[in-house]
Structure 1
Amino acid sequence: MKFLLYTRLPLVAAGLALLPSTAFRPASIQATEAVSVWLTTGDQTKLLAQQPDISFAASSASASTTITLDDHTTYQTIDGFGAAMTGSAAYMLNQKMSASQRDALLSDLFTSSGIRLSFVRHSIGASDFSAYGDYTYDDVAEGQTDTGLSKFGLGNDLTDVVPMLKAALGKNNTLKVLGTPWSAPAWMKEAKSDGTHSVRGGGYLNTAYYQAYANYFVQYVRAYAAQGVPIYAMTLQNEPGNSAAYMSMRMDPGNEAAFLKNNIGPAFASASPAITTKLVVYDHNWDDKTPTINNYVESVLSDAAAASYAAGSAWHGYSDPSGIANMTTVHNAYPSKDIWFTEITGSVGSSFAGDLKWHMSNIIIGNTRNWAKSALEWNLALDQNSGPTNGGTNNCRGVVTINNSTGAVTRNVEYYALGHASKFVDPGAVRIASNSVAGGIEDVAFKNPDGSRVLIALNNSSASNTFQVSWNGQSFTYTLPAGAVATYKWNTSDVPLGRVFEISAKSNGKALEITGASSSNNALLRQATWGSAIQQKWHMVDAGNGYVRIVNQNSNKSLEIVGAGTTNGNQVEQYDWQSIANQYWLVQQQSDGTYRILNKNSGKALDTPSASEGANLQQWDWTGADNQRWWLSDQGAARTGSALATSSAALADTRLRVYPVPVAQELAFDYVTDTAETLQVQLLDALGRSALAAPAVAVQAGTTSVHLGAAGVAPGAYVLRVITRTGTLTQRVLVTQ
Structure 2
Amino acid sequence: MLLKQQSKLFSLLTLLLLLVCGCGDDDIPVPTVPMEEEEPTPTGEPGTVTVWTTNGEGSVLLSKSTNLLPFKAGLTGGIPIGIDTSTALQTIDGFGAALTGSSAFVLREHLTDAKRATLLRELFTPEAGIGISFMRITIGASDFSTADYTYNDNPAGGADPDQSEFSLGRDTDHLVPVLQEIMAISPDLKIMATPWSAPAWMKTNGDIRNGGQLRGDLLSSYAQYFVVYLRAMSAAGISIYAISVQNEPLLASGYPTMEMEAAQQSTFIRDHLGPALAAADLDTKIIIYDHNWDDIKYPLDVLSDDATKEFIAGTAFHCYAGDVSAMSQVNTQHPDRGIYFTECSGGGFSTDFGTNLSWNTDNLLVGATRNWAKTVLFWNLALNENSGPQNGGCKDCRGVVTINAGNGNISRNVEYYLLGHTAKFVQPGAVRIPTPTRRGEGISQVAFLNPDRSRVLVAFNHNSQTSTLRVTEGGDSFQYSLPAGNLVTFTW
TM-score (norm 1): 0.60
Aligned to 2:113: 99
The equivalent position to 2:303 in structure 1, one of 301, 304, 327, is 301
Aligned partners of 1:143 and 1:187 also within 8 Å: no
Aligned to 2:413: 412
Question: Which structure has the greater CA radius of gyration?
Answer: 1
- CA separation in 2, counterparts of 1:59 and 1:485? 26
Aligned partners of 1:301 and 1:307 also within 8 Å: yes
The equivalences for 1:73-472 within 5 A come to: 73-112=87-126, 113-131=128-146, 133-140=147-154, 144-191=158-205, 197-271=206-280, 274-289=281-296, 295-320=297-322, 323-348=323-348, 349-438=350-439, 440-472=442-474
- CA separation in 1, counterparts of 2:290 and 2:78? 40
CA positional deviation for 1:394: 0.9
- CA separation in 2, counterparts of 1:85 and 1:356? 22
Q: Which has the higher contact order (CA 8 A, sep 6+)?
A: 2
Aligned partners of 2:75 and 2:478 also within 8 Å: no
CA positional deviation for 1:141: 6.2
- CA separation in 1, counterparts of 2:319 and 2:428? 22
- CA separation in 1, counterparts of 2:334 and 2:377? 23
| Percent identical residues | 46
CA positional deviation for 1:26: 3.6
Q: Secondary structure of 1:170's partner?
A: helix
Which 5+ residue runs of structure 1 have no aligned equivalent?
Answer: 1-24, 192-196, 290-294, 491-737
- CA separation in 1, counterparts of 2:451 and 2:121? 23
- CA separation in 1, counterparts of 2:156 and 2:300? 37
Aligned to 1:45: 59
The letter for the 1-side match of 2:329 is: T
Aligned partners of 2:108 and 2:174 also within 8 Å: yes
Q: Deviations over 1:17-45 (max 9, x none)?
A: xxxxxxxx845259761111100001112
The equivalent position to 1:71 in structure 2, one of 71, 79, 85, is 85
Q: Secondary structure of 1:73's partner?
A: coil
- CA separation in 2, counterparts of 1:49 and 1:120? 25
Aligned partners of 1:59 and 1:470 also within 8 Å: no
Q: Secondary structure of 2:276's partner?
A: helix
- CA separation in 1, counterparts of 2:374 and 2:65? 28
Aligned partners of 2:155 and 2:165 also within 8 Å: no
Q: Deviations over 1:384-422 (max 9, x none)?
A: 100000001111000000001111100000000011000
Aligned partners of 2:48 and 2:71 also within 8 Å: no
Aligned partners of 1:56 and 1:474 also within 8 Å: no
- Which structure: greater strand fraction? 1
Aligned partners of 1:34 and 1:53 also within 8 Å: no
The equivalences for 1:621-700 within 5 A come to: none
The letter for the 2-side match of 1:211 is: S
CA positional deviation for 1:53: 3.5
State the number of aligned residues.
451
- Bigger shift: residues 25-34 or 165-174: 25-34
Q: Deviations over 1:497-542 (max 9, x none)?
A: xxxxxxxxxxxxxxxxxxxxxxxxxxxxxxxxxxxxxxxxxxxxxx
The letter for the 2-side match of 1:255 is: Q
CA positional deviation for 1:57: 2.8
Which 5+ residue runs of structure 2 have no aligned equivalent?
Answer: 1-10, 20-45
Aligned partners of 1:124 and 1:136 also within 8 Å: yes
- CA separation in 2, counterparts of 1:179 and 1:44? 33
Matched, 1:476 2:445: no
TM-score (norm 2): 0.89
Q: Secondary structure of 2:480's partner?
A: strand
- Which structure: greater helix fraction? 2
Q: Deviations over 1:562-585 (max 9, x none)?
A: xxxxxxxxxxxxxxxxxxxxxxxx
CA positional deviation for 1:64: 3.4
Classify 1:474/1:56 alpha carbon distance in 2 versus 1 (closer, same or farther; 3 Å). Answer: farther
- Bigger shift: residues 238-247 or 461-470: 461-470
- CA separation in 2, counterparts of 1:151 and 1:249? 22
